[in-house]
Chains A and B, each alone.
Chain A
Amino acid sequence: MKGRLLISAAVVSLGMAGMAWSQGNSATAEIEKYREMLGDGNPAELFEMDGEALWATARGPKNASLQKCDLGLGAGVVKGAYAQMPRYFADSDKVEDLESRLMTCMVKLQGFDRAELSKKPFGTANYKSDMEALVAYVVGQSRGMPMAVPTAHPKEKAAFELGKQIFFYRAGPYDFSCATCHAMTDARIRMQDLPDLTSPAGSQRAYTSWPAYRVSQSLFRSFQWRLNDCFRQQRFPEPTYASESTIALTSYLATMANGATYQGPGIKR
């Protein structure tokens, strides 16, 4: 009788240990399940539709559409363009990411003012951002394409190096750098996995899922927005929209993701 009791007690404690272990595991599995469910239908599509219409709409002082905009693969070619950005553009003689390039086109083709365009690039609940819609459309046209950011031009190399420097640059009241959180494997903040952006696998997974629809904000978010929010979390001053440094950082991250299949636009919690 006594022996049986002991055995059953042992079984109970084993059972508890097993439960605790599977609980930790199932939390991650549940998050994966949630992500899968979200992936089933992505409201980013609504913004893609908006962007597609905007792309073809004649706007601005010159009353022109963006259909002649060169995103790097020739005038008007949108398919696959985002998977090869940022890149060097001869006409503006600098490396540009998608958002900077869109502004260049909007200035050149449509006659908008660049300073005016960079004033309010991010949408809010009460303000619809044309830029974010255009970004949604363009990145959607690279879904399933391999990331192939060019690195041959000296200015592209310089942007990559500058971006890398920014990534590891510690500053601000918390003495933070991007690398403080994003240079470790298997680290997380609360329940969010932190990708190791210094490894190809980590940066490929992270970079190819942005820009993305943010469920908690009900808005589509561009890559410049993503970087802005990273700087905010580091308690850095807010960077200038589509500045040389944010483009350089994007160059570094995008180049690190080369070879991966672009998955976006993504969907985030």
Chain B
Amino acid sequence: MASSMRVRALLKGDVTAITAIVSHPMETGMRKDGGKVIPAHFIQVLTVDVDGKRVVTSHLNTAVSSNPVFNFKVKGAKVGDKAVVSWVDNLGEKGSGEAVVAAG
């Protein structure tokens, strides 16, 4: 597996584009490896906080690809704000990454 996460946040006009690339297998539990089922392993909740305020809560399931890329557009963020993207998967594993909002 690659490094856990990369986050970018660019402010254009009054909209901040937040991109998060997460390293995650996103296994559905439906695939087999040599006859043995590969256990399900996928992100269930992904959240975005800007400047300490929750702006996105998303509930994901197995219909999302491995190493997923997320793009969000958020209003009201300022240059220098901290954008934190965090996730929790069905095995209870957690990960998060952050970026400082930059002028794009």
Write the residues of chain A forming the contact surface with B, with a CB cutoff of 8 angstroms: 40-43, 45-47, 49-50, 53, 125, 128, 133, 213, 215, 218, 220
Contacts and interface: CB of A to CB of B under 8 A. Distances in A.
B2 A43 contact: yes
A168 B5 CA distance: 43
Contacts, number: 42
Interface stretch (B44-52, B61-69, B76-84): B61-69
B103 to A, nearest CB: 19
A41 B1 contact: no
B65 A46 contact: no
Given A41-B19, A41-B21, A45-B21, A215 B65 contact: yes
A46 B25 contact: no
A109 to B, nearest CB: 23
B96 interface: no
Interface in B7-65: 19, 21, 23, 25, 65
Nearest to A53: B3
9 contacts: A40-B71, A41-B21, A41-B71, A46-B23, A47-B2, A49-B6, A53-B3, A125-B25, A218-B66
Given A45-B6, A49-B3, A218 B71 contact: no
Contact of A218 (B5, B6, B21, B25): B25
A43 B1 contact: no
Nearest to A43: B67
Contacts of A40: 19, 69, 71
Given A218-B25, A218-B67, 20 more contacts: A40-B19, A41-B19, A41-B21, A41-B69, A41-B70, A41-B71, A42-B21, A45-B6, A46-B2, A46-B21, A46-B23, A46-B67, A47-B2, A49-B3, A53-B3, A128-B1, A128-B2, A133-B2, A215-B65, A218-B66
